[in-house]
Structure 1
C-alpha cells in the first residue's frame, strides 16, 4: 500500500466514505493534471472539488472526469498559453 493509498484510507475513515470508483485517485489526479496544464494551476483543485460534488450527487465518476478533461482540452485549444 502506498502512502497515497494510506492517506486516502485515513481520510475516507474520518469522513465515513466508501470509494465511489476503484480508481478514484487516478481519476482525480488525471483531471487535476489536465486542468493544471490546460487551464490554470489553481483550477485543478477546484475542478477536483467540483468532480467530488458531482459524484456525491450521483454522477458517474468516469463520465464526469472525462467531461472535465475534455473541457480542459477545449479550453487549452481556445486559450493558447493560458496555463503559463
Structure 2
C-alpha cells in the first residue's frame, strides 16, 4: 500500500513538472510576439541588449537583476518599514 502511494506521488510530481514546463514554454513563445512600449525600451537600455537571441537576453537580464537587486531590496525594506511605522 505504501509503495503504491509513493508511485502515485511520483507520477503526480512528474506530471506537474511537465505541465509547468509546458506552461512556461507557452508563455515564452507568446511573449516573442509582444510589441515593446514605453518602459520596455528603458529596460532594454538598462540591460543593454537589443535584437539578440532569447538566451543572450536572459543571461543579460540575470546580470542586470544581480546588479540591481540589493538597491531594490533596500528600497522595499525602507518602504515596508516606513508604512508599518506610520500605520501603527
Q: TM-score, normalised by structure 2?
A: 0.31
**Larger RCO: Structure 1 or Structure 2 (Cα < 8 Å, ≥ 6 residues apart)?**
1
Instruction: Name the larger-Rg structure.
Output: 2
